[in-house]
Amino acid sequence: MVRDVTRADLPQAVLWDMDGTIIDSEPIWFIHQADIVREKGGYWDDDMSSGMVGMNLVDAAVYMIETATIDADPEEFLAELVRRVVGHVHEAGVERRPGAYELLDELRTAGVPIALVTASYASFAEEIARDAGGFDVVVPGDRVARGKPDPEGYLLAARLLGVDIEKCVAIEDSPNGLQAARASGARCLAVPHMAQIPEAPGLSRVSSLADVTLETIVQIAEGRPVDLIAA
């Protein structure tokens, strides 16, 4: 039997990753990362991109340039990458991850504050935030000094919301993002997408946010992890 959820049961906030968690944008990043590297005479493939999922964009750009041994300025490389990804989304759109928008609506209806904490820059993040119905706080990658896997973005979101990070639930799809969320002290829900996330003590995992309800979030916030990924 599902218990009735009261206001006292709710987490103080739910903190959301964006790429791969709310929207299925990781494959778009993969396409343009490979294209730019190849245009500069290097080699890049999806397996190489998968290891960077959730990484802050500055570190990702430096890593790509060094790994592919190409001659490029990191800031110019990154600016071009962001321009292409945003242009791609404007032209072709981007799919929503299953269950994400529905869970966002359920949290809003329940009065739970929500924040977006993403490696993507404000020009992209704020647009997606509006399409998703709005967030109380948006912390994009270009607003923090140290991006994921550093916890700065999550800690900043909690401060801006005026909540205790240890009484929040963070939702992530990647190992890098999850490392940031767990280091912040938040309870964590992993929704693996482009990279696998192994089970770990205290970590909740689901295959899809379509399987997550407000009651699931309350259970995670109370320190009762769920794992709905088949072994």
Q: Can you tell me the mean pLDDT for 2-10?
A: 72
CATH of the domain at 205: 3.40.50.1000
For residues 138 and 73, state if they share a domain: no
Q: List CB contacts of 200: < 8 A, sequence separation 6 or more.
A: none
The least confident of 40-54, 118-132, 169-183 is 40-54
Q: Is the backbone peptide bond immediately before 149 cis, with ω within 30 degrees of 0?
A: yes
57/109 Cα distance (integer angstroms): 33
- Report the pLDDT value the prediction gives residue 1, as an integer from 0 to 100: 35
Q: Which of the two residues, 228 and 8, has the higher pLDDT score? A: 228
- Each residue's pLDDT tens digit, 80-106: 999 999 999 999 999 999 999 999 999
Given a cut of 70, whether residue 3 has pLDDT beyond it is: no
Spatial CB neighbours of 6, under 8 Å, sequence gap ≥ 6: none
Which amino acid is residue 129, in one-letter code? A
Domain co-membership, 115 together with 69: no
- Residue 105 sits in the same domain as residue 206: yes
- Mean pLDDT within 21-32: 95
CA 2 to chain centre: 29
Query: Per-residue pLDDT for 211 more than 80?
Result: yes
- Percentage of the chain beyond pLDDT 90 is 86
| Domain shared by 37 and 65, yes or no | yes
Q: What is the CATH number of the domain that holds 80?
A: 1.10.150.240
pLDDT at position 231: 57
- Residue 231, domain member (yes or no): no
> Could you give the C-alpha distances from 163 to 20, 109, 150, 221, in angstroms and in order?
25, 19, 19, 13
pLDDT at 2: 47
Report yes or no on 1 lying in a domain. no
Q: How many domains are contained in the chain?
A: 2
| CA–CA distances in Å: residue 73 to residues 41, 70, 137, 148 | 14, 9, 32, 21
State the residue range of the domain holding 122: 7-24+96-221
Q: Do 15 and 37 fall within a single domain?
A: no
- Residue 63: what residue type? Y
User: Are residues 146 and 37 part of one domain?
Assistant: no
